[in-house]
Amino acid sequence: MTNFEQSAFGDQPANIPDHPNGDRAAWGGHGWPDGVPEHLLATFTVGRQRVTVTTRREVQRFWTLVNLICEEKHGYEWRAGECHSYQNRRIDGTQRASGHSFGLAIDINAPANPFSLRWVSDMPPAMVADLESLLMYWGGRYRNQEFDPMHFTPAFGPGQVAEMEAAAERILGGRDEEDDMPQFLVARHNGVDYAYDHRTFFPIVSEQQYDKLFDGRLIVVPHGQAQVVDDALIGFIQGEARRGQAGQQPRVVASL
């Protein structure tokens, strides 16, 4: 599994508010020990692996967009059974409220991004930069305590949710106008199928991935009948797939 050096992430952006667990007062003060009232919480499913999370209702759509940034732009799937969200608890061994008791934070892929004195993270640095541009506090930035790179918290208040949703949509790049279009085309080259979703390219390397795509998405090419396209396009797709793996933004071609 990929592990990125801490230095690959640079410095925390200067405009991140100093609310590593969210601005509790701005969100009405709810959290441990009483927890967040149930009517303020939403439980929903995100991502290709259908990860179930619970957050404040106000940030459900925001977090859904964040998941799309991780998975669709950066090819970083949230893994089922490895993500944590709302939990009304204190920090282990202390009397302080856990950031998870406010209903804002989500831990993404805990085993590969452990709470630890030793730095371990498989988060693509370009993805972390995108999330931090949305005023998310990242546990990978903790100082003088264990690193917690699985942990992200919106560090803004409810008044900024709409602004951050709009910023997330800009990162995703014109997603809304593409909603009516087929979401995937598939191209086969040298026995490897590549899926293209109008924004990113990625190789489909297993039947299981195929099943996931067909299960969760609108696909224009039936299972097992990948469209064969000309070599110039294949070369482009492979080049873009490499750019995606390197954490760069793939270019989008309108002709597909």
Q: Which of 71, 72, 77, 107 binds Zn ion (CB under 5 A)?
A: 107
Whole-number minimum distance, CB 126 to Zn ion, in Å?
A: 22
Question: Which range touches Zn ion (CB under 5 A), out of 64-72, 148-156, 158-166, 212-220?
Answer: 148-156
Q: Identify whether the C-beta of residue 69 lies closer than 8 Å to the C-beta of residue 171.
A: yes
Task: Give CA–CA dist 150/152, Å, rounded.
Answer: 7
Structure tokens at 250: 């793939």
Whole-number minimum distance, CB 222 to Zn ion, in Å?
A: 41
Q: Identify whether the C-beta of residue 51 lies closer than 8 Å to the C-beta of residue 150.
A: no
48 binds Zn ion (CB under 5 A): no
Task: Give CA–CA dist 63/68, Å, rounded.
Answer: 9
Structure tokens at 25: 């007062």
Residue nearest to Zn ion (CB): 151
Residue with smaller CB distance to Zn ion, 107 or 240: 107
Helix (H) / strand (E) element for 41: namely: strand 41-46
Q: Whose structure tokens read 């020990």?
A: 33
Binding to Zn ion (CB under 5 A) within 181-240 occurs at none
Give the number of residues in contact with Zn ion, rule: CB under 5 A.
2
101 binds Zn ion (CB under 5 A): no
Tell which residue, 256, 1, 22, 57, has the closest CA to residue 138: 22
155 binds Zn ion (CB under 5 A): no
Whole-number minimum distance, CB 93 to Zn ion, in Å?
A: 15
153 binds Zn ion (CB under 5 A): no
Whole-number minimum distance, CB 162 to Zn ion, in Å?
A: 25
Whole-number minimum distance, CB 91 to Zn ion, in Å?
A: 10
151 binds Zn ion (CB under 5 A): yes
Whole-number minimum distance, CB 47 to Zn ion, in Å?
A: 18
Report the number of secondary-structure helices (H) and strands (E) in the chain.
6, 8
| SS3 call for 149 | coil
Task: Give CA–CA dist 154/169, Å, rounded.
Answer: 16
Q: Identify whether the C-beta of residue 230 lies closer than 8 Å to the C-beta of residue 108.
A: no
Q: In this structure, what are the phi and psi dihedrals at residue 93, rounded to the nearest 5 degrees?
A: 80, 5
73 binds Zn ion (CB under 5 A): no
Question: Which range touches Zn ion (CB under 5 A), out of 9-17, 62-70, 147-155, 235-243?
Answer: 147-155
Question: Which range touches Zn ion (CB under 5 A), out of 68-76, 124-132, 149-157, 167-175?
Answer: 149-157
Residue with smaller CB distance to Zn ion, 86 or 201: 86
Tell which residue, 145, 141, 136, 70, has the closest CA to residue 104: 136
Whole-number minimum distance, CB 92 to Zn ion, in Å?
A: 11
Residue with smaller CB distance to Zn ion, 107 or 132: 107
Note the residues at the interface with Zn ion (CB under 5 A).
Answer: 107, 151
